[in-house]
């Protein structure tokens, strides 16, 4: 719906009194002027971009669309309160009709230092749903019909997502409970192995477990989309084989373009396309750089996109920038310090090396620093580089809709 969004000014937890009903933090401005960047266009190209946003459903497959603390060192204190602040006003300017919110449950530390706990996950989800229920702009999205409704009425369809299934422990019925509470997509593993399979951070790749297979089958049955973004390569292959419905990689890029373990090898990308799924290209700091250009930007992001389009076909590529309203690199620094200095029992393992360190990263990603900026610059870049309106429509929403129509009930 482009500029026709019906945002009326609601801000997170407006129905409560800060400092009385909840602990108040100074939050980051939704944008930082010195980091803002627009892909330069001619007047005719600008008009075409506006028309594309007006006519097409725009879906972001992976975001954390909340405001973080102005001081990154206070983020864990905010997390312990269990109350994230959805960036309503900034999202109304993003061009998005649908956003997949991944809820950051790995860092929700209400009852545990380590995250991913069942109780904390339910707390996080319930708190966000209460806030959204008081908003007249955001719709809790459960069906494809909700996405079309948001587009037609100038609202935003908000999809609740978990990046890892760790919270279900060994209880496959918890998938049903999560679905009942509105979760419509779930990652199997977030980097460190769990009961379902091997994470990409492990030294040896054991693939999907028997319980992981059971979980994939149950997700198919209830209508929950399977995401293999942070799993090991073999776990991804096994999950695709176990699933009777399309599987996605919500946020990553090509390992050929950037040879680090976080990126995806060609055979897995091809298997995702063969099962009818898609990849959402990621823009998090450092990851979607390239072998030729170590500084990430809109241009390195599009290098991953163009490679995946050539390898998988344009029907199997979308956008999952993985951004937020805060200091992304500052968060990485905080979590690195938390793991090494907070007495969490995490120790460097011999022979295991990181592909990237925080010190390697630039302070921000030019053109892709937050959800408001990201999709605008993707469309601007595609227009500037000669993509047709039909192909742009696929990348920014139609491909995702096609997958959701097959998976969601």
List the chain domain ranges.
57-344+371-407
Phi, psi of 297 (to 5 degrees): -165, 180
User: Which residues of the chain carry a pLDDT beneath 70?
Assistant: 1, 31-32, 338-344, 354
Would you call 348 exposed, middle or buried from its count of C-beta atoms within 10 A (0-12, 13-18, 19+)? exposed
Predicted confidence at residue 341, as pLDDT, reads: 55
The CATH class of the 57-344+371-407 domain is alpha beta
Asked if residues 327 and 70 have their Cβ atoms less than 8 Å apart, the reply is: no
Residues 219 and 165: their CA atoms lie apart, in Å, by: 11
Predicted confidence at residue 308, as pLDDT, reads: 98
Predicted confidence at residue 1, as pLDDT, reads: 67
Q: Which helix (DSSP H) or strand (DSSP E) does residue 56 occupy?
A: none
Angle (CA) 166 172 178, round 5°:
70
Asked if residues 328 and 285 have their Cβ atoms less than 8 Å apart, the reply is: yes
Predicted confidence at residue 338, as pLDDT, reads: 66
> What letter does residue 297 receive in the DSSP assignment?
B
Q: Which residues contact 77 (CB under 8 A, 6 or more apart)?
A: 25, 69
Where residue 246 falls (left for φ over 0; alpha for ψ -120 to 50; beta otherwise) is beta
**98-101 and 317-319 strand pairing:** unpaired
**156-162 and 138-140 strand pairing:** parallel
Tokens of 14: 């407006």
Residue with tokens 């006003």: 89
Tokens of 136: 């007249």
**225-227 and 98-101 strand pairing:** unpaired
* Structural Rg of the chain based on CA atoms: 20
Predicted confidence at residue 106, as pLDDT, reads: 86
The pLDDT tens digits for 290-349 are 999 999 999 999 999 999 999 999 999 999 999 999 989 888 888 777 655 556 677 777
Is the Cα torsion angle 1, 88, 296, 240 positive or negative in sign?
A: negative
Predicted confidence at residue 349, as pLDDT, reads: 78
């Amino acid at each position: 719906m482009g500029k026709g969004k019906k945002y009326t000014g609601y801000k997170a937890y407006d129905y409560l009194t800060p400092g009385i009903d909840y602990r108040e933090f100074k939050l980051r401005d939704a944008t930082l002027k010195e980091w803002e960047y627009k892909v330069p266009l001619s007047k005719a190209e600008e008009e075409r971009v506006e028309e594309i946003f007006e006519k097409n459903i725009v879906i972001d497959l992976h975001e954390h669309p909340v405001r973080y603390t102005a001081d990154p060192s206070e983020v864990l204190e905010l997390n312990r309160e269990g109350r994230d602040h959805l960036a309503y006003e900034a999202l109304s300017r993003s061009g998005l009709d649908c956003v997949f919110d991944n809820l950051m449950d790995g860092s929700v530390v209400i009852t545990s230092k380590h995250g991913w706990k069942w109780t904390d996950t339910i707390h996080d989800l319930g708190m966000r749903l209460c806030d959204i229920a008081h908003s007249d702009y955001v719709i809790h999205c459960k069906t494809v019909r909700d996405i079309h409704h948001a587009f037609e009425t100038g609202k935003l369809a908000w999809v609740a997502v978990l990046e890892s299934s760790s919270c279900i422990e060994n209880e496959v019925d918890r998938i049903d409970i999560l679905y009942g509470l509105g979760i419509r997509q779930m990652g199997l593993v977030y980097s460190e192995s769990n009961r379902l399979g091997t994470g990409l951070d492990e030294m040896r790749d054991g693939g999907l477990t028997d319980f992981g297979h059971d979980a994939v089958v149950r997700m198919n049955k209830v209508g929950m989309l399977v995401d293999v973004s942070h799993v090991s390569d073999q776990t991804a292959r096994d999950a695709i084989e176990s699933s009777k419905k399309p599987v996605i990689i919500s946020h990553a890029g090509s390992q050929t373009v950037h040879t680090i373990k976080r990126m995806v090898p060609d055979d897995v990308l091809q298997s995702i396309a063969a099962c009818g799924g898609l990849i959402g290209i990621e823009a998090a700091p450092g990851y979607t750089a390239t072998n030729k250009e170590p500084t990430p930007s809109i241009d390195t992001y599009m290098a991953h996109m163009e490679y995946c389009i050539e390898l998988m076909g344009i029907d199997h590529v979308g956008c999952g920038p993985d951004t937020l309203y805060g200091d992304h690199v500052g968060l990485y620094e905080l979590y690195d310090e938390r793991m090494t200095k907070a007495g969490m029992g995490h120790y460097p393992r011999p022979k295991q090396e990181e592909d990237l360190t925080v010190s390697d990263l630039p302070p921000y990603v030019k053109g892709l620093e937050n959800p408001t900026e990201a999709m605008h610059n993707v469309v601007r870049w595609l227009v500037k580089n000669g993509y047709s309106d039909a192909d742009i429509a696929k990348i920014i929403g139609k491909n995702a809709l096609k997958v959701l129509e097959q998976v969601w009930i």
